Chain A
Amino acid sequence: MGILLEKISKNYNGQAVLKNLNLEIVRGEFHVLLGPSGGGKTTTLSVIAGLIRQDRGSVFIGSRNVSRLSPEKRKIGFVFQDYALFPHLSVFDNVAYGLRVKKIKASKISVRVGHYLHKVGMEKERDKFPHELSGGQKQRVALIRALVTEPEVLLLDEPMSNLDALTRETIADELKSIQQEMGMTTVYVTHNQGEAVLLGDRVSVLNHGEIEQIESPDELFCHPKTEFVARFIGAKNILKARVIRINQHEAIAQVNNSGLAKPLKIRVKKYPIFEKGKEINLCIHPEKIILKREDKVVDGNLNQIRGKILDRRNNGRFVKARIAAGGMELHAAIPKNIFDFETNENVWVCFAPDTPHPLCGKRCRATETERRCLKG
């Protein structure tokens, strides 16, 4: 069963929390809803679950319009950020709860619950109470409690945010394999980009109640389309520019970031969204930046900006350098074996015309024409 959110709006005390939100999640998809705190992620999830009633818009689960249905009729599983286990019930009774509601026979319940407890390695804890469990164990109980009724849709609200890194990784693996095995449509809310990459078939980025981009994790991280997404996933080099000339294959853009002493012209590969005079944002991956000694002659094909190395930091196989370039700050990631610059050294910051990628801000549907701005 897929999920379709159609023009969902929600206000709290006159403040718009969800703004005309549209989202289609296909059947069996592991969809990650990524965004900063306060962006409306929990609200979106609660609207799908029916725990919050939207002001406008419709919610479909499969072909059912569930917009007016109360949560208990929506056939969903929900995992809460704080686990929300029943404190007065044992692990077994917590997991069995959804089955007892359905008046399933006790013998069957016992088998089913046992099966799920086994699945997450919690058989030994079956008679413990929630306050006797570790965070990771509580999370597992919360997960299988939601799964045991075999819902069509599984909703998880920042389920890992209270766990340590190691537990997080193990549970993420368990979750992903269970999801693939059972195939339920899953919406996973997080503010952590790492989890989004690890888990998501697709990721949508939610900011101030609007979806900024829906994409596969790879695509999202290589080609963020708005400045917000770019910054949120950690993009560093964002150039604000105006297209001043368009040639056959290339355009000339004038960079005018605030702080820049004087405007700077660069050559950029021509993208379909370019128009003369248009203001655009360009993003350059730090790995795509090349540094040259000040006295070296630079390949005439590359853009070059004078800069000075502010500091350097080892990061795995790369050295990450912060460079002051005419009033703006650029970031470069250079393989360790070829990095031989000192702090405070003057350098040329170089990049090829096809490396800056425009943040076009348009909704990306899967049609080829609209993707051209990305693939070029």
Chain B
Amino acid sequence: MKGIAFDLAVSLIAAVFVCLLTLPIFALFTATSFVELVNQFSSPLVLSAIVISLETSLIVVFLALCLGLPVAYLLATKQFRGKEILDTLVDLPISMPPLVAGLALLILLGGNSKLGGLLNNCGIDLIFSKKGIIIAQLFVSSPFLIKSARGAFESINNNVIDASLTLGASKFYTFKKVLLPLAKNGIYAGMVMTWARALGEFGATSMVAGCIPYKTETMTVAIYHNVMSGELGSSVAIALLLTIFSFTSLLIFKSRIRGQTAVIV
């Protein structure tokens, strides 16, 4: 009898948890109607937020790939002094509050700082611009790619890499023809996670880029902005779209890491 009671208790607690996760999403779906959604998605302001978000987050994925793959490769295959430090640095943005990251970026790149001033003189203005959004998102989301790619590189049998070298291939050729294809799934998974994180980024982005409609207002920033000014309708529409995006990316992510030992975050 006791065994059944225990099973029952565990199931009940799990049910509470499931409600905690599903009820809010359900609420989101019921807060709107089809007509309302069509209306919202034809509003230029909503569309602009969607375009800005997609544009910046995709550029971030690309940049994370360019900057993150070498770091992942280094961490996975090389022993060097300061490796622990680099490893910790990569983890930092994940545990750091995004607002803090945003503030740090603001101070570094703002017109009053040396670097900001220098960039300003060259005609590059990072604050309150799309470039600022990209930098903020990159800061916060690139660790996901690095960690995933690193795990994928590490799971490759060293002898397979050595085999390529003994067959006359250079390190670069080996990277291209052996490491990349074998780490493919881990890298895709990392890209998807990075994209999802960049898309959902709010704190650092709003710090660095503010919320200038049609210029720096991303989807998340728009949700916040609109709720604050009492326009729940557009917020819900954008939120629903984000939910669908994140659900899709989760599915892609799951399908990519199935049967693969890549360590994710």
Interface residues of A (CB under 8 A from B): 49-51, 70-78, 80-82, 84-88, 97-98, 101-102, 145-146, 149
Kindly list the 9 A-B residue pairs having the minimum CB-CB distance in the complex, ordered from nearest.
A84-B159, A98-B167, A78-B166, A71-B165, A84-B163, A80-B159, A101-B168, A101-B169, A84-B160
Q: With an 8 A cutoff between CB atoms, is B173 at the interface?
A: yes
Sample (20) of A-B pairs whose CB atoms are under 8 Å apart:
A49-B162, A49-B166, A50-B165, A70-B165, A76-B166, A77-B167, A78-B166, A80-B159, A82-B157, A84-B157, A84-B159, A84-B160, A84-B163, A86-B160, A86-B163, A86-B164, A87-B182, A97-B164, A98-B167, A145-B167
A72 and B166 alpha carbons, distance in the complex (Å):
5
Most buried by A among B163, B169, B177: B163
Q: Is B166 in contact with A51, judged by CB distance below 8 angstroms?
A: yes
Given A51-B165, A76-B166, 14 extra CB contacts under 8 A: A51-B162, A72-B165, A72-B167, A78-B162, A80-B159, A84-B159, A88-B181, A88-B182, A97-B167, A97-B169, A98-B168, A101-B173, A145-B163, A146-B166
B170 cross-chain contacts in A, Cβ below 8 A: 72
A97 and B176 alpha carbons, distance in the complex (Å):
13
Q: Is A71 in contact with B162, judged by CB distance below 8 angstroms?
A: yes
Q: With an 8 A cutoff between CB atoms, is B178 at the interface?
A: yes
A49 cross-chain contacts in B, Cβ below 8 A: 162, 166
Question: Which residue on chain A has the smallest CB distance to residue B174?
Answer: A72
A50 and B170 alpha carbons, distance in the complex (Å):
13
Interface residues of B (CB under 8 A from A): 157, 159-160, 162-170, 173, 177-178, 181-182
Which of B162, B169, B177 is in CB contact (< 8 Å) with A84? B162
Q: Is B167 in contact with A101, judged by CB distance below 8 angstroms?
A: yes
B173 cross-chain contacts in A, Cβ below 8 A: 101
A84 cross-chain contacts in B, Cβ below 8 A: 157, 159-160, 162-163
Q: Is B160 in contact with A78, judged by CB distance below 8 angstroms?
A: no
Chain A nearest Cβ from B2, distance in angstroms: 47
Chain A nearest Cβ from B245, distance in angstroms: 30
A77 and B167 alpha carbons, distance in the complex (Å):
7
- What total of A-B pairs shows CB separation below 8 Å? 64
A80 and B181 contact, Cβ closer than 8 Å, known pairs A72-B168, A101-B168, A149-B168: no
B163 cross-chain contacts in A, Cβ below 8 A: 78, 80, 84-86, 145
B181 cross-chain contacts in A, Cβ below 8 A: 88
A85 and B163 alpha carbons, distance in the complex (Å):
8
A133 and B178 alpha carbons, distance in the complex (Å):
20
A80 cross-chain contacts in B, Cβ below 8 A: 159, 162-163
B169 cross-chain contacts in A, Cβ below 8 A: 72, 97-98, 101
Most buried by A among B159, B168, B178: B168
A102 cross-chain contacts in B, Cβ below 8 A: 168
Chain A nearest Cβ from B179, distance in angstroms: 11
A78 and B162 alpha carbons, distance in the complex (Å):
9
A49 and B164 alpha carbons, distance in the complex (Å):
12
B160 cross-chain contacts in A, Cβ below 8 A: 84-87
A146 and B159 alpha carbons, distance in the complex (Å):
13
A292 and B159 alpha carbons, distance in the complex (Å):
57
A50 cross-chain contacts in B, Cβ below 8 A: 165
Chain A nearest Cβ from B160, distance in angstroms: 5
A77 cross-chain contacts in B, Cβ below 8 A: 166-167
Q: Is A71 in contact with B166, judged by CB distance below 8 angstroms?
A: yes
Q: Is B166 in contact with A86, judged by CB distance below 8 angstroms?
A: no
A202 and B129 alpha carbons, distance in the complex (Å):
73
Chain B nearest Cβ from A130, distance in angstroms: 10
Chain B nearest Cβ from A245, distance in angstroms: 57
Chain B nearest Cβ from A74, distance in angstroms: 8
Most buried by B among A73, A87, A102: A87
Chain B nearest Cβ from A80, distance in angstroms: 4
A70 and B174 alpha carbons, distance in the complex (Å):
14
B182 cross-chain contacts in A, Cβ below 8 A: 87-88
A71 and B163 alpha carbons, distance in the complex (Å):
10
Question: Which residue on chain B has the smallest CB distance to residue A52?
Answer: B162
Chain A nearest Cβ from B167, distance in angstroms: 4
Chain B nearest Cβ from A116, distance in angstroms: 14
Question: Which residue on chain B has the smallest CB distance to residue A70?
Answer: B165
A76 cross-chain contacts in B, Cβ below 8 A: 166
Question: Which residue on chain A has the smallest CB distance to residue B181?
Answer: A88
Chain B nearest Cβ from A154, distance in angstroms: 10
A74 and B177 alpha carbons, distance in the complex (Å):
20
A98 and B166 alpha carbons, distance in the complex (Å):
9
A49 and B178 alpha carbons, distance in the complex (Å):
19
A87 and B157 alpha carbons, distance in the complex (Å):
10
A84 and B182 alpha carbons, distance in the complex (Å):
13
A98 and B52 alpha carbons, distance in the complex (Å):
47
Question: Which residue on chain A has the smallest CB distance to residue B158?
Answer: A84
A81 cross-chain contacts in B, Cβ below 8 A: 159
A50 and B168 alpha carbons, distance in the complex (Å):
12
A102 and B173 alpha carbons, distance in the complex (Å):
11
A75 and B165 alpha carbons, distance in the complex (Å):
10
Chain A nearest Cβ from B90, distance in angstroms: 27
Question: Which residue on chain B has the smallest CB distance to residue A94?
Answer: B163
